[in-house]
Structure 1
Amino acid sequence: MIQERTSPRARPAMRFVLLVGILSFFADCTYEGARGVLGPYLSTVGASATIIGVVMGLGELLGYGLRAVSGAVADFSRRFWPITIVGYVVQMASVPALALTHDWRSAALLVIAERVGKAIRNPPRDVMLANAAQHIGGYGWVFGIHEAFDQFGAMVGPLVVAAVLAQRGSYHAAFAVLAVPAALNLLFVFLARLLYPTPEEMKTADQRSSHATQRFPSVFWLYVVGAGLVAAGFADYPIIAFHWARGGVLGSEWIPIFYAVAMAVSGGGSLLLGRLFDRYGFVVLIGLTCISALFAPLVFLVDHFVAALLGVALWGLGMGVHESIIPAAVAPMIAAERRASAFGAFTALYGVCWFAGSAVIGWLYDRSIVATVVFCLLVQAAAIPAFLIVRRKLETK
């Protein structure tokens, strides 16, 4: 059970959440700044839509799939900080290195390396945040706070890239500038490690009994199915940006700005959505899935500036759901000692679905934009029955 806000550990737990939020701000500023222009950049160095879809999907596959390994190692070793630090170092080194690439193959390797770094650091970091949530009012609230920092960074990064492109007209210069927030991220990572060397101790006493042999409950696996369908039907921003650039819907300088808009929507809504999820549960996730799925016809079928803006706002809302509510929902299903493994297993299967969906979306786009939109809508709609069953099972526990 979540502890009351009057818990004596509430204040240090909140300080920890805010510090992790700051380092995540600089992380997202770095890699989301790059991801906002990866589609157009990869096309300038010889990549087709299919290649972009496969590269981005493979990055997500490894970026999610390897979390099963990272989570299991974190649960077994209880060395949350060392694993988290390694992940951040790999991720932050990969993004500025894109400034040195001149063909899609070398760029693709760095794109994938960045996702691998994220895979390494996420499960242990999420466990530390979940432990802090025991003292601050709820999983949705804590993950919502974290997502707000994430998406604020994800808004600033693309704006910085847009400014560099407007002034210099060079993708390589934009990637090089991202070395600054990358360095600041690592500075705050080490500061957090110094100030909070054992944040796993923030979990409440009733969670400390051993559950190491406990299997994941059936409701967890059903939830994986629903979340995987949502992931499979969610198009990556690079393929959306590729569509806009190829069709002349937006100029190159507008594409990172629209990505910043999406991140602002995601971050701005995450605090409210986290609160709503803590209060009302899965009905919030179901409603948001239905609403955010409407991004597909707006961004792919209506070649108009305003439609693209509305579509990217809905896409950003969906990203907020992916990054905050969907992982927050995992924590209360699983015993504390298995959470890193649960986060890892969940996101591994989630990533397989994301990869498969991204590859299919890229393949369909090269053949039929209408088929691409139909696929996105139908696959995400198929998740609703699974979420409804999960909701009923949790409410009857």
Structure 2
Amino acid sequence: MTGSRSPSSGALKAISFRLILLLGAVSLCGSLVSNGARSVTGPYLDLLGASAAVVGLVAGLGEFVGYALRFATGVYVDQSRHYWTMALIGYGLLIAIPLLALVGSWEAAALLIILERVGKAIRTPARDTMLSHATTAVGRGWGFGVHKALDQIGAIIGPITLAAAVYLTGGYGQGFLILGVPLVFLFITLFAARTAVPKPRRLEASSAPPAPGSTAGEIPDLLPYATFIFLGMAGFANFPLISYHLKAEAILPDAGIPLLYALAMVVSVIVALATGKIYDRFGVRTLIIIPVISTLISILAFASGAGSVFAGALIWGSGIGIYETVIRATIADVTAIDRRGQAYGILNAVFGTAWFTGSVVMGVLYEISVIHIVAYVLFVEILAVIAYIWMCRMQQGFNRAA
């Protein structure tokens, strides 16, 4: 990418896919570090003297900040085009995880946990914008699917790595320090990616014209997509609530719950790859599966039978693989290249706000009855289908105008 001539189609695809694999390897290492730590932050905060309310607040605030700040960082990415700088700063804040080994109070630990989420808010719009450029030549869905699959492999390995470290060393601190090792590999890979493709934007500029169905819309055109994402995610249950149900109803032994989570993550890897290919063939229509997935989870995952809950948890894993793959690919297809980072920032903020809101609502409803959760999810997902129809009609209007 350093020469003045544009690369051939085959060379462009090779360069683009290399960048996707390198950024996927970076995300694998980052997910290993962050998810490894997150698997034990609750008991670690408890060990340091935090109450259950504090643990919940820190987790919820960290996730909300991690999504809400993405609007501002997305705008900055579009204006500055400092993709690699933002990625380096964002991934650099993962140093907060090994530093957890050195703190002596829950207040300091909470600050580091939230700081790591701030890092995710900084790096994600830049990373996704670079991926959107790279996926132009190889297929939006396939490119994002490959990246998501690699990211989820890290999410599987991380908790297992930390559990083994804690088991062998007898303490959380040593486990956090061990997570510094994949952090080193992360930066080696990140610098390799920057060296290989210093200007990722040129990958899209050098590509063929936009694929059929691409609207290259401006920010106001995102309203139907934002509405659909908000309603779809507001009805998507989180795994902590599902695991609470498993424990409260004695459906699985304690040791079986993390194994079920790991299995759900394996499913998410497979589904992310398959969904990417399906999206490249059917485009935005693929999004209709999201309300269906959310509804099935509410019906099955909160049932009383082990078989139903097991199926619900696996469908939940499928949802994780589908959501980010399809939504990120769709954003790349419906936004102008100069607004890509801002669009990712806006819709990631919507995504996080909706999931946080829905999680709170479902947690409250669970205390009343599971039927109330199912009724709530059915209501919001019917609204999501209406938003989907609105979104498709707007897409058709853009296509006719084009």
User: Which interval holds the TM-score relative to the shorter structure?
Assistant: 0.7 to 0.9
1:69 aligns with 2:86: no
Q: Where does 1:32-181 land on structure 2 (aligned, <5 Å)?
A: 32-38=35-41, 46-48=50-52, 53-90=56-93, 92-100=94-102, 105-136=107-138, 138-164=139-165, 167=168, 170-181=171-182
Quote the Cα distance in structure 1 between the aligned partners of 2:263 and 2:131.
26
1:228 aligns with 2:225: no
Give the number of the structure with larger relative contact order, counting CA–CA contacts within 8 Å between residues 6 or more apart. Answer: 1
Shift in alpha-carbon separation, 1:327–1:146, aligned structure 2, 3 A: same
Judge which range, 63-72 or 151-160, deviates more. 151-160
Quote the Cα distance in structure 1 between the aligned partners of 2:298 and 2:43.
19
Structure 1 residue aligned with 2:364: 363
- Tell me by how many angstroms 1:125 deviates: 1.0
- Answer with 1 or 2: which has the greater Rg: 2
- Tell me by how many angstroms 1:283 deviates: 3.1
Quote the Cα distance in structure 2 between the aligned partners of 1:243 and 1:167.
30
- Tell me by how many angstroms 1:287 deviates: 2.0
Given that residues 294 and 377 in structure 1 are in contact (C-alpha distance below 8 angstroms), is that contact kept between their aligned partners in structure 2?
no
Given that residues 52 and 238 in structure 1 are in contact (C-alpha distance below 8 angstroms), is that contact kept between their aligned partners in structure 2?
no
Quote the Cα distance in structure 1 between the aligned partners of 2:19 and 2:229.
28
The SS at the match of 2:219 is: coil
Structure 2 residue aligned with 1:19: 22
Given that residues 261 and 313 in structure 1 are in contact (C-alpha distance below 8 angstroms), is that contact kept between their aligned partners in structure 2?
yes
Structure 1 residue aligned with 2:271: 269
Structure 1 residue aligned with 2:314: 313
Given that residues 53 and 239 in structure 1 are in contact (C-alpha distance below 8 angstroms), is that contact kept between their aligned partners in structure 2?
no
1:187 aligns with 2:188: yes
In the alignment, residue 123 of structure 1 is paired with which amino acid?
P
- Tell me by how many angstroms 1:110 deviates: 3.1
Given that residues 293 and 316 in structure 2 are in contact (C-alpha distance below 8 angstroms), is that contact kept between their aligned partners in structure 1?
no
Deviations 1:15-69 (A, max 9, x none): 1111111111111112122334445655665543x65554433222211111111
In the alignment, residue 372 of structure 2 is paired with which amino acid?
A
- Tell me by how many angstroms 1:395 deviates: 3.4
The SS at the match of 2:137 is: coil
TM-score (norm 2): 0.85
- Tell me by how many angstroms 1:216 deviates: 1.8
Given that residues 218 and 335 in structure 2 are in contact (C-alpha distance below 8 angstroms), is that contact kept between their aligned partners in structure 1?
no
| RMSD, aligned CA | 2.9
The SS at the match of 1:300 is: coil
Q: Percent identity?
A: 37
Deviations 1:286-332 (A, max 9, x none): 1243034322343333263x444322211111111222111211111
Shift in alpha-carbon separation, 1:114–1:147, aligned structure 2, 3 A: same
In the alignment, residue 272 of structure 2 is paired with which amino acid?
S
In the alignment, residue 310 of structure 1 is paired with which amino acid?
A
Given that residues 234 and 380 in structure 2 are in contact (C-alpha distance below 8 angstroms), is that contact kept between their aligned partners in structure 1?
yes
Structure 2 residue aligned with 1:237: 239
In the alignment, residue 179 of structure 2 is paired with which amino acid?
L
Deviations 1:151-193 (A, max 9, x none): 1111222222343455566554444432222232222122222
- Tell me by how many angstroms 1:255 deviates: 3.3
Structure 2 residue aligned with 1:211: none
Structure 2 residue aligned with 1:29: 32
- Tell me by how many angstroms 1:116 deviates: 1.3
- Tell me by how many angstroms 1:366 deviates: 4.6
In the alignment, residue 354 of structure 1 is paired with which amino acid?
W
Given that residues 36 and 259 in structure 1 are in contact (C-alpha distance below 8 angstroms), is that contact kept between their aligned partners in structure 2?
no
In the alignment, residue 315 of structure 1 is paired with which amino acid?
W
Shift in alpha-carbon separation, 1:243–1:19, aligned structure 2, 3 A: same
Shift in alpha-carbon separation, 1:112–1:368, aligned structure 2, 3 A: farther
The SS at the match of 1:263 is: helix
Deviations 1:249-281 (A, max 9, x none): 444443332222122111111111011012112
Given that residues 303 and 309 in structure 2 are in contact (C-alpha distance below 8 angstroms), is that contact kept between their aligned partners in structure 1?
no
- Tell me by how many angstroms 1:241 deviates: 3.2
Quote the Cα distance in structure 1 between the aligned partners of 2:259 and 2:109.
22
Aligned length, in residue pairs = 384
The SS at the match of 2:237 is: coil
Given that residues 100 and 173 in structure 2 are in contact (C-alpha distance below 8 angstroms), is that contact kept between their aligned partners in structure 1?
yes
Deviations 1:62-95 (A, max 9, x none): 11111111111111111110011100111x2233
Given that residues 42 and 107 in structure 1 are in contact (C-alpha distance below 8 angstroms), is that contact kept between their aligned partners in structure 2?
yes
Structure 2 residue aligned with 1:342: 343
In the alignment, residue 83 of structure 1 is paired with which amino acid?
M
Given that residues 32 and 182 in structure 2 are in contact (C-alpha distance below 8 angstroms), is that contact kept between their aligned partners in structure 1?
yes
The SS at the match of 1:328 is: helix
Given that residues 237 and 297 in structure 2 are in contact (C-alpha distance below 8 angstroms), is that contact kept between their aligned partners in structure 1?
no
Structure 2 residue aligned with 1:280: 282
